[in-house]
Structure 1
């Protein structure tokens, strides 16, 4: 369950966010990334590195206002930061030692969705329907 719950949370995040229409969906996700980049600031234990990482993710999130790729890369950066915190023993939630590990499992799920362009679940049936039409109209 320690490994499945973070995957489910990442999928749920992507599904719920996909209900927003573009360009709002991309912009809200850029803001969420910026917030995640600052998650360790109040006690992450890596000193000035916490501020440097927050600055880096803030820049990537800013670029993400116009690019799903930047948002996906930002979630992958956050995954790496989660791993560092897990290994150092400074979890994102101080009362839950495995919280950074859970975050490191969840974040790549979100990143993959973002790197695919943050598709909407509303478009899935249309995509299948278009593929079926192409198959039937192919020579």
Structure 2
């Protein structure tokens, strides 16, 4: 459960964020990753290195105001910081010894969602439920009529 719950938390995060409409969803996520950069400051497990990391994630969050890719990068940087803290034995939640490990499992789930452009998971589920099947992917020939110019050999 220690490894499964963080994945569920990452999915729940993306689902809850799906309730926020664009462009506010992207901007809110930029603020969230910026805040995550300061999550370890009070513990100070990495000493003075906590400050440059916080500054780095503040910069990444600023770039994330206009880019989902930067937000995803920010969550991946936070994952690396979680791993460092877990190995050093300085967890994000002082009374929960494996909290940094859980965060290191959760954050890449959020990062993957962000790197996909932070789509509304709710809209994706609704779209599939309405049509009864998934939409054709890019490069798919489904839905191309035989008469269309793209289907005529050239």
For residues 4 and 123 of structure 2, the distance between their equivalents in structure 1, rounded to whole angstroms, comes to 26
Given that 1:44 and 1:91 are in contact with CA atoms closer than 8 Å, whether structure 2 keeps it comes out as: no
* Structure 1 residues 14 and 138: alpha-carbon distance in aligned structure 2, compared to 1, 3 A threshold: farther
For residues 22 and 3 of structure 2, the distance between their equivalents in structure 1, rounded to whole angstroms, comes to 31
For residues 29 and 65 of structure 1, the distance between their equivalents in structure 2, rounded to whole angstroms, comes to 8
Confirm or deny that 1:135 pairs with 2:142: yes
Q: In structure 1, what is the equivalent of residue 41 of structure 2?
A: 41
State the 1:137 CA deviation: 4.3
Q: In structure 2, what is the equivalent of residue 105 of structure 1?
A: 105
Confirm or deny that 1:69 pairs with 2:76: no
Q: In structure 2, what is the equivalent of residue 121 of structure 1?
A: 121
- Count residues with an aligned counterpart: 138
Confirm or deny that 1:32 pairs with 2:32: yes
Q: In structure 1, what is the equivalent of residue 150 of structure 2?
A: none
> Which one has the bigger helix percentage?
1
For residues 18 and 44 of structure 1, the distance between their equivalents in structure 2, rounded to whole angstroms, comes to 33
Which structure's CA Rg is the greater one? 2
Q: Which runs of 4+ in 1 moved over 2 A?
A: 125-132, 134-139
* Runs of 5+ unmatched residues, structure 1: none
RMSD: 1.7
Given that 1:44 and 1:92 are in contact with CA atoms closer than 8 Å, whether structure 2 keeps it comes out as: no
* Runs of 5+ unmatched residues, structure 2: 147-154
Q: In structure 2, what is the equivalent of residue 8 of structure 1?
A: 8
For residues 91 and 8 of structure 2, the distance between their equivalents in structure 1, rounded to whole angstroms, comes to 20
